[in-house]
Structure 1
Amino acid sequence: MHPPHLRRGAAALAATLAAAGLTVLATAAPAQAATCPTSVNAGASVPFVTLEAECATTNGSAIGPDYTQGSLASEASGRRAVQLTGQGQYVEFTLTAPANAVNVHYSVPDGRSGSLSVYVNGTKLAGGLPVTSRYSYVDTGWITGSKTHHFYDDARLQLGQNLSAGAKVRLQVDAGDSAAPYTIDLADFEQVGGAGTRPANSVTVTDYGATANDSSDDTQAFRNAISAARSQGKEVWVPPGRFEIPQALQVDQVTIRGAGNWYTVLHGNNVFNNGSATGNIKLYDFAVFGDVTERNDGSPDNAFHGVLGAGSAVSGLWIQNTKCGLWLMNGASSNLTIENNRILDTTADGVNFDGNVTNSVLRNNYLRNNGDDALALWSNGAPDSGNTLSHNTVVQPNLANGIAIYGGANNTVTGNLVQDTNALGGGILVGNRFNSVPLSGTVTVSDNTTLRAGALDPNWQFGVAALWFDARDTAITGVTINVTGLRAIESPYAAIQFIDGNGQGKTIQGVTVNGAQVQGVGTFVVQAQTTGSVTVSNVTASGVGVTGTYNCPYPSNIPPLAVNGSGNSGWSGTWLDCSTWPAPNSGNPQPSGNFAKGRPVTASSSTGGYPAPNAVDGNASTYWESANGSFPQTFTVDLGTALPVSRVVLKLPPSTAWGARTQTLSVLGSGDGSAYQTLVSSRGYTFDPASGNTATVTFPAATIRYLRLTVTANTGWPAAQLSELEAWQS
């Protein structure tokens, strides 16, 4: 208890502050910080410091970690957050660097709006932090597998004072804060400089009738200022304040400059819309705030929509609550520089190069809570080529990938951070998808970091990796894809994945991964689900949740992916049962029963309609048959890892239509698929429907990974035939 004189001093101070509209923070119950998620120093260099709520002092309830689609924790940075449910609950951040402003990433229940009280070093600020669910809880029923998502939004506030490191900023539920429960994910603390001043050789929109901070339509005033500036060879200056732009502006050969993205706000769902432009468009230092509450892909509700032409730049923008940040289409754009922007809370993509964007740079941008791919090069109709995505940060795209390269030529993805991705995507994707112009030339993926990237796909019901390659539309061939310097940290599912998302087994070739660090992975280091040949070298791994490799092609009658390479360490073993999918971090138990069931197989030949995988599918009524009239024939099954085998059971269909026959064959084994030893020399085995059309071969136990039959004769048909091959330990 405080001595009486101190208590009287506090009461006097409270009275003084109350007269000024401020209050003193009451003494609260003891609180402590929750467990902090892993963080990394990578990606964009930003002017703010992010502090996670779960690392702050709180008497609220920590939620997460969780990777379940459609949950508050799974959509939070770090997959953790803090929930404040009642009066007196708070999160208190201790600053690690000077700041005078804060941007809070939060969620409140659907249909609620209000405020949350803010205290600085114990003193309550007037007004508080405005919060709303207006831009959250997005439904996209036309996207198969999607659920209600996009739970979070951002609210920013200038604190009215310069704080030093060590200062405390508290978010607290007080009387009148009626939007509870409040879920606080994080806070960005920033030292915001003063507003910019009007440059020389400029026209100002206010001289043409624009009025700040009222509800009047400023569109025509902006159009007149833009026209005047272009005709006079001047810039357009937009002073501090909020300006209403309900009708889109068209821009070409003009610079528009604001006083800074904390000061100048253009309010509209589609502020810029260019059907054509030659270029030299410069957009600098302002914010675009939209009012997009649902995603409508038939409406251009994007901060910038259309073509930028040649030599344009977009820098220092804060874009929030639009459908997309920048969607470039309608013509060729080249030699663009898009840098130092903040793109938050969009219902779809952050930036999309929708075809025909060349030799351009996307660098040092920060994107969070985007409702589709955060950064996408989509070679739609014409290739995106020669572009570089460099040192960007992507946090929590909640319905697709962090970074996606859909076709195109000679593009580079380097030095980026992709963190906490959610459903229907992974971390970084390179693929032929969405009818893109196929990949060609050389694609460079270098020195990127993924953190908790990847997700369980709700349609496929298996994990998507931190870095993945998808031959969904066409085979990935005729292209060189070089991956170097990858860091995949705490991937909830696989680290690196190769797949044909249409399940047709299209080939992937030309991918070389040379040098990667995998630090914690829920399932596999490499996950392969199609055919082809890739090289994976010098990949080190730790904390592998299941086993090193999953290599189960789909459909199962195609050869597995050939994964070549050397210098790998810390990961070994292969998932053995292609008919099942393991839970993350469940380990890879030593198999029992029939080792061969569902495993990848190859055969020297097959007759149409009777492929080799029929002989390991567990169904004795389906069978493999080799080409007719040609011996010897071989049948090889990859058991996935070295296993002790001492008994092989061979079957033909049990139907009486299959008359008795004798096949002459030998049994061989190998540890590496190259050098084989004879386990049982060639001899005849009789298959008789009267005894189940089954033959059993026993031999001294041999530890092998590859099991091969060599068939040299068949008295019942001029081909090798087999409905099941079973491999047993005893």
Structure 2
Amino acid sequence: MTRNVPAARRGRFPRMRWSTSIASAAAIATAVTLAGLAAPAAATPAPVTPSPVTRAALDPSLVSGRGAALGFSEQEAEKATTNGTVIGPDRTAYTLPAEASGRSAVSLKPGQYVQFTLPAAANAITMRYSIPDAPQGGGITAPLAVSANGGAARTMTLTSQYSWLYNQYSFTNDPNAGLIHPDWWITECKCVPSQTTPAPVISTPFRPMHFYDEQRLLLGRTYKAGDTIRLTAPAGSPAATTTIDLLDSQVVAAPHIRLIAANVLAFGADPFGKRDSAAAFDKAIAFAKKTHLKVYVPPGRYQVNRHLIVDDVTIEGAGSWYTIITGKQVTLSTPAPDGSVHTGVGFYGKDASAGGSHNVHLSGFAIEGDVRERIDTDQVNGIGGAMSDSTIDGLYIHHTKVGIWFDGPMSNTHITDTVIADQIADGVNFHTGVTDSSVSNSFIRNTGDDGLAMWSEKTADARNTFDHNTVQTPTLANGIAIYGGTDNTVSANLIADPLREGSGIQVGSRFGAEPFAGHLWITDNTTVRAGTYELNWEIGLGAIWFYALERNIDADIQVVGDHFLDNTYNAIMLVTDFPVKDQYRITNVHFADIRVDGTGTSVVSARTAGSASFQNVDARNVGAVGVNNCGSFNFTPAGSEFSLTDLGGNDGGGTTGPWLAAWELPNTITCDDRPPVVVPPAPSPWN
């Protein structure tokens, strides 16, 4: 996407006495942020066994060394104490349990509660929840009482204004809407509505999704391990049900203060968020560049209702729990040249066509957007444009369209220790010629499209790395997706609970991407409860999914050391779309040192021509034939057009015997288009 870049603002600014005014302003803003949160001390109850700590709803020992480590403890509501109703587990799309972490949650009626016992000291919580939509769409608000150790409760205001999408892509907020695309194939009636007489009747709301949201709360004091946090849906709540998915708890450090800096308060920024501070930020950024200082944003809530253009500047907050930069989504009077019809809060590098931005360093603040609908032409991302030789560290990005969308060419930019949640589309997308860049130790939850993506449209992404990240509950598409590119790496990530029309990891020749070249390393990742149902094809996918739609996939692809746990359908899937099944192939893919623990169907499903090799691939609890080999569906006398090479050490299987049996090699046809699903047992330690 392209966009307009406003001319840089210029001006002269007075000298400031940084040592006194800034420190006092930071203290005042911190007091404002924490005011009213401290609860009166309560008597400590008798020791209670803590609610289990999980990672992606798994025992942490099963994913040791994989995913992000950001210092919070995750506890699932269905494992806590409650007088509400546990819903799930269920993996059926368009249901509340299916979109929950671990595919289960707790539903509270007014007056009911769920109570968590802290496993470690904490002064802050993040709570993931869902409340109903308004009958006509647009969301409602409802209270939630939060109390510690049975003490006085404070009230959080929950909202469904940023959730509840309906209908066909790219979705609508209207639960009563008719079909957005009346000429599209509709699986539910197996028809093309515009060619059906009479026109099909669809039930409304049609395909509801994206139910959950999250909120954070500073508790005002530090509670110790064994203390309890109770969440109660108050009597009289307008929400008929309040569904709690999980609680994250942690100790948040004191606010970071930088005394010698271009403090935005000195340029007129409002830390109470009552007036727009965009111009004040522009002035602080210009002054910092002129004087070679950093920009400092003290604790507070700052209203910024448009893009801030950043280049050759460092912007630091006091920490993402203290410095909140938020903005309303603003409708433009006329569409921008790039097609945007809205603007909103966001930090943008200059467009790549203008040379992009360089030496941008953003850290220690939150970006709270106001995006409630998906409009793909809109530039309403948390961070956008092109930024080379830059860093993004310790941010919290919430309620934007895409957390971070980079349009290259650009290079050498690194995203670390960042949380991205509740996006209407992707978490992070490296788009068009992003090179030598990375996302590491970051946490992405509840995206409306790919959690992490490299998209080599027009120009190849190259030498990039996604490493030690956690991606949970994308409601559409994939946890991690690589669309073309050269010499990229996906390593040591934890990916859980993709909901529909995607996989834990996808390697795709699609969306106009440049070809795969050089190598692609996919190493030491863990997926859990992945391999979703593809609505349009009406088949189950794999936890890792290779998809040749527009080109051959023939680069050197090494899938090594990965664990595929509790796979809803297949662990590994290789597909060429049926209309081009005799044009494209998937070859040169090598699997080694893999563990597959539980499949609803097969270990490998091949629906393409080509080949792959397997070495030390161990499987257990396999629900169907180990290799479902349909090839290109030509059923030739010579066998399948897809061949498997056994390099040894491929052990285990299921009720049908060894998953990779001699009779299946190299290309025996074992095609079962839609095998029955056998629900696998929960993952367990591998002896």
Tell me the alpha carbon deviations over residues 447-485 of structure 1, each in whole angstroms, 9 at most, x when there is no partner. Answer: 0001111201111111111111111111112x1001100
How far 1:174 moved relative to its partner? 2.3
- One of 405, 409, 413 as aligned partner of 1:332: 409
How far 1:140 moved relative to its partner? 5.8
Tell me the alpha carbon deviations over residues 138-165 of structure 1, each in whole angstroms, 9 at most, x when there is no partner. Answer: 2362357793211000011111111111
How far 1:580 moved relative to its partner? 4.3
CA distance in 2: counterparts of 1:51 and 1:151, whole angstroms: 19
- One of 667, 676, 682 as aligned partner of 1:583: 676
Give the aligned partner of residue 541 of structure 2.
464
Give the aligned partner of residue 567 of structure 1.
649
CA distance in 1: counterparts of 2:456 and 2:270, whole angstroms: 41
Matched, 1:83 2:110: no
CA distance in 1: counterparts of 2:453 and 2:600, whole angstroms: 26
- One of 157, 160, 181 as aligned partner of 1:133: 160
Matched, 1:485 2:561: yes
Tell me the alpha carbon deviations over residues 58-110 of structure 1, each in whole angstroms, 9 at most, x when there is no partner. Answer: 111001111111110000000000000131x1110001111011110000001
Give the aligned partner of residue 703 of structure 1.
none
Secondary structure of the equivalent of 1:226?
A: helix
Give the aligned partner of residue 424 of structure 1.
501
Give the aligned partner of residue 387 of structure 2.
308
Tell me the alpha carbon deviations over residues 177-228 of structure 1, each in whole angstroms, 9 at most, x when there is no partner. Answer: 332300000011011111111242x101111111111321111111111111
Contact 2:628 2:672 in 1 (8 A): no
CA distance in 2: counterparts of 1:32 and 1:417, whole angstroms: 24
CA distance in 1: counterparts of 2:483 and 2:537, whole angstroms: 20
Give the aligned partner of residue 435 of structure 1.
512
Give the aligned partner of residue 367 of structure 2.
288
Contact 1:208 1:224 in 2 (8 A): yes
- One of 629, 640, 646 as aligned partner of 1:551: 629
Letter in 2 for 1:487: H
CA distance in 1: counterparts of 2:296 and 2:374, whole angstroms: 32
Secondary structure of the equivalent of 1:453?
A: coil
Give the aligned partner of residue 264 of structure 1.
323
Tell me the alpha carbon deviations over residues 516-550 of structure 1, each in whole angstroms, 9 at most, x when there is no partner. Answer: 00011111101100111110121101111112110
Matched, 1:233 2:257: no
Secondary structure of the equivalent of 2:392?
A: strand
CA distance in 2: counterparts of 1:359 and 1:24, whole angstroms: 53
Give the aligned partner of residue 588 of structure 2.
510
Gap change, CA 1:62 and 1:374, over 3 Å in 2: same
Tell me the alpha carbon deviations over residues 265-324 of structure 1, each in whole angstroms, 9 at most, x when there is no partner. Answer: 110334123333331100001000011111111111100121012x10000000011111
Contact 1:129 1:156 in 2 (8 A): no
Gap change, CA 1:314 and 1:79, over 3 Å in 2: same
- One of 386, 389, 409 as aligned partner of 2:463: 386
Letter in 2 for 1:583: P
Give the aligned partner of residue 30 of structure 2.
none
Matched, 1:533 2:611: yes
Give the aligned partner of residue 96 of structure 2.
72
Give the aligned partner of residue 115 of structure 2.
92
Contact 2:447 2:475 in 1 (8 A): yes
Gap change, CA 1:33 and 1:243, over 3 Å in 2: closer
Gaps of 5+ in 2: 1-37, 135-139, 171-183, 187-205, 328-343, 654-658, 681-687
Contact 2:570 2:605 in 1 (8 A): yes
Letter in 2 for 1:356: G
Give the aligned partner of residue 108 of structure 1.
131
Output aligned runs, 1:182-221, within 5 Å: 182-200=242-260, 202-221=261-280
Secondary structure of the equivalent of 1:249?
A: strand
Output aligned runs, 1:685-696, within 5 Å: none
Gap change, CA 1:34 and 1:357, over 3 Å in 2: closer
TM-score (normalizing by structure 1)? 0.74
Gap change, CA 1:503 and 1:550, over 3 Å in 2: farther
How far 1:443 moved relative to its partner? 0.6
Give the aligned partner of residue 54 of structure 1.
78
Secondary structure of the equivalent of 1:183?
A: strand
Give the aligned partner of residue 180 of structure 1.
240
Secondary structure of the equivalent of 2:652?
A: coil
Give the aligned partner of residue 446 of structure 1.
523
Tell me the alpha carbon deviations over residues 611-637 of structure 1, each in whole angstroms, 9 at most, x when there is no partner. Answer: xxxxxxxxxxxxxxxxxxxxxxxxxxx
Matched, 1:120 2:180: no
Contact 2:449 2:476 in 1 (8 A): yes
Letter in 2 for 1:485: G
Contact 2:39 2:151 in 1 (8 A): no
Contact 2:363 2:395 in 1 (8 A): yes
How far 1:21 moved relative to its partner? 8.9
Gap change, CA 1:43 and 1:259, over 3 Å in 2: same
Tell me the alpha carbon deviations over residues 317-363 of structure 1, each in whole angstroms, 9 at most, x when there is no partner. Answer: 0001111100001x321111101000000010000001111011210
CA distance in 2: counterparts of 1:166 and 1:563, whole angstroms: 53
Letter in 1 for 2:448: G
CA distance in 2: counterparts of 1:248 and 1:278, whole angstroms: 14
Superposition RMSD in Å: 2.4
CA distance in 2: counterparts of 1:35 and 1:463, whole angstroms: 30
Give the aligned partner of residue 406 of structure 1.
483
CA distance in 1: counterparts of 2:566 and 2:284, whole angstroms: 51
- One of 494, 497, 505 as aligned partner of 2:573: 497
How far 1:125 moved relative to its partner? 2.5
Secondary structure of the equivalent of 2:289?
A: helix
Contact 2:422 2:446 in 1 (8 A): yes
How far 1:424 moved relative to its partner? 1.1
CA distance in 1: counterparts of 2:51 and 2:229, whole angstroms: 14
CA distance in 2: counterparts of 1:35 and 1:385, whole angstroms: 37
Secondary structure of the equivalent of 1:440?
A: strand
- One of 206, 212, 223 as aligned partner of 1:163: 223
Secondary structure of the equivalent of 1:207?
A: helix
Secondary structure of the equivalent of 1:515?
A: strand
Structure showing greater relative contact order (alpha-carbon pairs closer than 8 Å, 6 or more residues apart): 2
How far 1:115 moved relative to its partner? 1.2
CA distance in 2: counterparts of 1:307 and 1:335, whole angstroms: 11
Secondary structure of the equivalent of 1:418?
A: strand
CA distance in 1: counterparts of 2:130 and 2:148, whole angstroms: 22
- One of 152, 155, 159 as aligned partner of 2:212: 152
Letter in 1 for 2:651: S
Letter in 1 for 2:165: V
CA distance in 2: counterparts of 1:580 and 1:428, whole angstroms: 22
Output aligned runs, 1:630-649, within 5 Å: none
Gap change, CA 1:64 and 1:364, over 3 Å in 2: same
- Aligned residue pairs total 559
Contact 1:350 1:370 in 2 (8 A): yes
Question: Does 210-219 or 67-76 show the bigger shift?
Answer: 210-219
- One of 577, 583, 602 as aligned partner of 1:524: 602
CA distance in 2: counterparts of 1:516 and 1:71, whole angstroms: 32
Gap change, CA 1:279 and 1:584, over 3 Å in 2: same
Larger Rg: 1
Contact 2:350 2:357 in 1 (8 A): no
Give the aligned partner of residue 298 of structure 1.
377
